[in-house]
Structure 1
Amino acid sequence: MEDSYVLQLLEPKFKEFHLCFCGFAQCEPLHSYGPASRPNYIVHYIMDGKGIYQVGEKKYKLSKGQGFLIEPEELTFYQADQEEPWSYLWVGVGGTGAKKFIQDIGLNSQQRIFRCADGEKLNEIVMDMMKHTRSTVSDLYYLQGKLYELFSVLASDVVIEELMEENKENRYIQEAVTYIRNHYAAGLTVEELAGYLGVNRSYLYTLFKNKLQLSPKEFLTKFRISRAREQLILTEESVENIAVACGYHSTLVFTKNFKQETGMTPTEFRKTNRQAAKDRLLMNQKSPGTGKN
């Protein structure tokens, strides 16, 4: 679980570069997100504590003062430390020029990890952003200005780091992750994945456990449920349609797997998270700076 405060914009005004969402979270021990892929660039910054960030087989151990980049449609996983769980803020950006803006602060697919000494300023900017929850022209212009201010801080203070726990590329894992991302909705099975890679299930299991600490079946399930969580929050699609879109032929199996992963049924999750989002936005309007950090 995590105690989080979130601002999400569904209709950006600026096409080249714009804020999609931002937030702050205080995580409980071992709270994790993913494996999942997102449609936007997302920059996370760690205000306190420790955790891990994983992209494919690359794993980074990160702590206070560091940050990490998530690229669009990149399969990632991150988890809070058991003893010192992290709190972090994040900013998601999009637009036709988003890639260039990300590169301007020194980040790209080969350089995902950074350090920034001015974390308090970043926190101040994000908390200020979350005060402006209305989609008025005035608020949208204000948020655009705060976004540029945040990137100004990053551009001046970011120190690029590449602290990989593992840097040996594994062709099978890379291909497996890509294949899952592209075919999970078609009812992909572990047998089909092993057949595509040309390896037996036992070897595939060993690879996944050694590199990702999950079995192929666990990884595939977590990825599907992460996709389902996003669709339940962001769309009005029925649970049945979301189940099919995430590769489940049976709504009952989908609901069972979803509850095992989240502790709630899909319907309960949608209702709880939408109400929580409304409550957080109302809280931010009243006192956005009182969140844990």
Structure 2
Amino acid sequence: MEIKYEESNKSKYLEPQKKQSVDLFLCYCGSENCTPGYSYGPAIRPQYLIHYIIDGEGSYTVNNTTYKLKKNQGFLICPNVLTYYKADENNPWTYMWVGFNGVKAQTYLNYANLNEENLIFEYSKDDSLKNYISEMLKLKEMDYSNELKLEGLLYFFMSALAETRKDSYNIKTYKSTELYLEKSIEFIENNYSNNIKINDIASYIGINRSYLANIFKRNINMSPQEFLVNYKIDKACELLKNTDLSIKAIAASVGYTDPLTFSKIFKKIIGNNPKSYRESAFPNKI
């Protein structure tokens, strides 16, 4: 697993080049000691992004509202929302950030009472948030062990946020769309090998196909078909890496009756055909 890492006197930046997990995965993380008046935006991001202020002050503007923020406070940026933030001219902030996504990202943020209506938080009980990001930034070389550490640190980060809000979180605040999404993913996880169709998912949930497509687009910015295909290919990658099954058997295992069709889709998503992928991952295996 490749990783991008950059470091200067004022900032650090780490980005895994392939995001493996489905539920929750790190897109990038970093830290910066901002110069007076440094700003970013107006811009939108395709993933969730949390900034946590280590020192200093600044402002965050979203939906025509500006928040003045300081040490131990943080702010959430939601996908595809126009935002702007700026360091104070006299006491510029130093902050750390975590960008992430996944089908459970919104649910986990709700655990921490963070959403489009509540974008600001405060965490002052200890240095956990700072320490988790610092540990992420130390993983400059990626192997299977560090991949798991990186994912675990992200979960610890989310857990720390949720811990401060657990008393205010109420399971009834789940939106019906979130429940539909979770049930859809559950159905895919249990039936992806059976050549299921999007209509099968919609029927199982009890909603129409267009409404299902709207839920997926709004929550994870992809169609149900895109998610299903990517899920199948992720499972195929696992089988190619961890078993000696033939390409035909792997195709059948992830719901493709035609190995040629499977190979074409695999190459479109991964960039290599299944055989080349296996050989490049394990050159001595074949």
TM-score by length of 1: 0.52
| 2:137 alignment partner in structure 1 | 130
Q: 2 CA distance for matches of 1:3 and 1:103?
A: 32
| 1:91 alignment partner in structure 2 | 98
Q: 2 CA distance for matches of 1:70 and 1:118?
A: 23
Runs of 5+ unmatched residues, structure 1:
161-293
SS class of match (1:132): coil
SS class of match (1:126): helix
Amino acid in structure 1 at the alignment position of 2:122 = R
Q: 2 CA distance for matches of 1:44 and 1:100?
A: 19
| 2:187 alignment partner in structure 1 | none
- Contact 1:116 / 1:158 at 8 angstroms: preserved in 2? no
- Contact 1:114 / 1:159 at 8 angstroms: preserved in 2? no
SS class of match (1:46): strand
- Contact 1:27 / 1:86 at 8 angstroms: preserved in 2? yes
SS class of match (2:95): strand
Over 2 Å off, 4+ runs: 157-160
Q: Percent identity?
A: 39
Asked if 1:36 is matched to 2:35, the reply is no
Amino acid in structure 2 at the alignment position of 1:26 = N
| 2:56 alignment partner in structure 1 | 49
Q: 2:107 aligns with which of 97, 100, 106?
A: 100
| 2:85 alignment partner in structure 1 | 78
Runs of 5+ unmatched residues, structure 2:
1-7, 168-286
| 1:11 alignment partner in structure 2 | 18
SS class of match (2:106): helix
Shift of 1:150: 1.1
The number of equivalent residue pairs is: 160
SS class of match (1:96): coil
SS class of match (1:107): coil
Q: 2:32 aligns with which of 25, 29, 33?
A: 25
Q: 1:61 aligns with which of 68, 71, 77?
A: 68
CA offsets per residue over residues 205-252 of structure 1, 9 Å max, x none? xxxxxxxxxxxxxxxxxxxxxxxxxxxxxxxxxxxxxxxxxxxxxxxx
Q: Greater RCO between the two (CA within 8 Å, min separation 6)?
A: 1
Q: 2 CA distance for matches of 1:15 and 1:102?
A: 16
- Contact 1:115 / 1:158 at 8 angstroms: preserved in 2? no
Task: Tell which structure's C-alpha radius of gyration is larger.
Answer: 2
Please give the residue correspondences for 1:178-217 in structure 2 after superposition, counting only pairs within 5 Å: none
For the aligned residue pairs, the C-alpha RMSD in angstroms reads: 2.0
SS class of match (2:108): helix
- Contact 1:2 / 1:28 at 8 angstroms: preserved in 2? no
Shift of 1:99: 1.1
Change (3 A) 1:154 1:80: same
Q: 2 CA distance for matches of 1:4 and 1:124?
A: 16
Amino acid in structure 1 at the alignment position of 2:65 = K
CA offsets per residue over residues 178-216 of structure 1, 9 Å max, x none? xxxxxxxxxxxxxxxxxxxxxxxxxxxxxxxxxxxxxxx
Q: 1 CA distance for matches of 2:125 and 2:160?
A: 8
Change (3 A) 1:24 1:159: farther
- Contact 2:51 / 2:74 at 8 angstroms: preserved in 1? yes
CA offsets per residue over residues 35-91 of structure 1, 9 Å max, x none? 000011011111111000000311100111111000001100000000100001111
SS class of match (1:16): coil
| 1:148 alignment partner in structure 2 | 155
Amino acid in structure 2 at the alignment position of 1:62 = L
Q: 2 CA distance for matches of 1:132 and 1:86?
A: 25
Shift of 1:2: 8.9
Shift of 1:9: 1.4
Amino acid in structure 2 at the alignment position of 1:157 = T
